Structure 1
Amino acid sequence: MKRINEYKKLFNVEKDIELKQLKKTYRNLVKEWHPDKFQAGDDKAIEAELKSRQIIDAYHFLVSIAPETKAANLEDYNTTITSPIMDWQHKGMLLEITFLDGNTYEYFGVNKALYIKLCQSDKLTRFAKRNIFNSFIYRKIKKREVEA
């Protein structure tokens, strides 16, 4: 959640993320902080390099959790969450779930108590469908590998 709030603050996003506005803000920030605008070796150039990387990461992150992106990928997401859970990890308030179909999703804001209940559940997928999948902000982080 901290990362989400940090990135929203960087892009001046209040509540809902609109892709059109996000793209416009991204372009303006990249123009402002592009490393080529500063002289090489200067402290400002180093700061601009770090800031531009942060802007790019924030943009891709916010696009991945935007409602428009979720709506476009809803059918694939619904197919994935019916697949059995293969692996899961919890760190802080972030739950990472890997499904048997090869897709991996991050769920933000999952507390330790809920994670413990997930671990103790005899039917992981059923528990996650009821308590996690549609209750928390999520994003796809790894796609299934396509065999040739």
Structure 2
Amino acid sequence: MPTFQSPLQINTEHLRILHSNLTTFAADKKGSTITMKRIVEHRKLLGVDKTVTLKELKTIYRNTMKDSHPDKFVDDEAGRLEAEEKSKSVIEAYHFLVSINPETQERYREEYEETTSKSNIHDFYYEKQILVIQHLDGNSYEYIGVPRNTYIKMVNAESPSRFARRHIYGSFIYRKAGVMAED
């Protein structure tokens, strides 16, 4: 650790570390906003709020797809390309919103609770405020809006499974990310 001649003297290494920490903090805050912003944008695209039922969501999705289906633009190439892009966005938004819908989570709650309470973590990784946890039973879940510092605490925890049970499960919006294939 360097010694300073006056209390106000700071070397360039300390400034670099301070800048790095502030940049990481800002990126972490931005990532959280981006993740929640994604949910808001998907809801806005389909014109729904967080209280929408699966049945309503399906009806809205089908009507939106009818209005913007690329096959409606046979002679208009620019319109067809625009409709393709919009329909891709609508499909992505629909599948994402279905996966985080309370009805979907309620339907699979027993499986989720079985996995999170009895199966240890096989692997986990973090990208853009999304924590993906793969369990030994093959199930994998994405937790949305997880702060970077929570992920770092999980990495450093003696037991990531115990840490997740105490601080991740039940604290963040989640969705099933898939099932690992058997070898």
Q: Same fold (TM over 0.5)?
A: yes
* Aligned with residue 102 of structure 2, among 44, 47, 67: 67
| TM-score, L = length of structure 2 | 0.76
**8 Å Cα contact 1:17/1:62 also seen in 2:** no
Give the distance between the partners of 1:120 and 1:16, measured in 2 at CA. 37
Q: Structure 2: how far apart are the matches of 1:10 and 1:46? A: 18
Q: Which residue of 1 aligns with 2:128?
A: 92
Aligned residues: 147
Corresponding residue for 2:42?
7
Task: Write the distance in 1 (CA, Å) between the matches of 2:98 and 2:75.
Answer: 31
Unaligned runs of 5+ in 1: none
Q: Tell me by how many angstroms 1:59 deviates.
A: 0.9
Counterpart residue type for residue 177 of structure 2: I
1:16 and 1:40 map into 2 onto residues whose CA distance is 39
- Deviation, structure 1 residue 145: 3.2
Q: Mind listing any 5+ residue stretches in structure 2 that lack a counterpart?
A: 1-35
Separation (CA, whole Å) in 2 of partners of 1:84 and 1:46: 46
Q: Which amino acid aligns with 1:129?
A: R
Q: Does 2:155 correspond to 1:114?
A: no
For residue 63 of structure 1, what is the amino acid of its counterpart? V
* Structure having the higher Rg: 2
Q: What is the CA distance between 1:58 and its match in structure 2?
A: 1.1
- Give the alignment of 1:24-43 within 5 angstroms: 24-39=59-74, 42-43=77-78
Match of 2:159 among 117, 123, 132: 123
Tell me what 1:141 maps to.
177
Tell me the distance in 1 between the aligned counterparts of 2:144 and 2:52: 16
- Distance in 2, matches of 1:11 and 1:146, equals 37
Structure 2 Cα separation of the partners of residues 60 and 91 of structure 1: 20
Match of 1:48 among 64, 71, 83: 83
- Higher fraction of helix: 2
Partners of 1:79 and 1:68 in 2: CA distance: 18
Q: Which amino acid aligns with 1:5?
A: V
SS for the counterpart of 2:122 is strand
CA RMSD of aligned residues (A): 1.5
TM-score (norm 1): 0.93
> Is this contact kept in 2: 1:26–1:59, CA < 8 A?
yes
For 2:123, the aligned partner's letter is D
The percentage of counterpart residues that share the same residue type is 48
For residues 129 and 38 of structure 1, what CA distance do their matches in structure 2 show? 51
Tell me, yes or no, if the aligned pair for 1:17 and 1:67 is still in contact at 8 Å: no
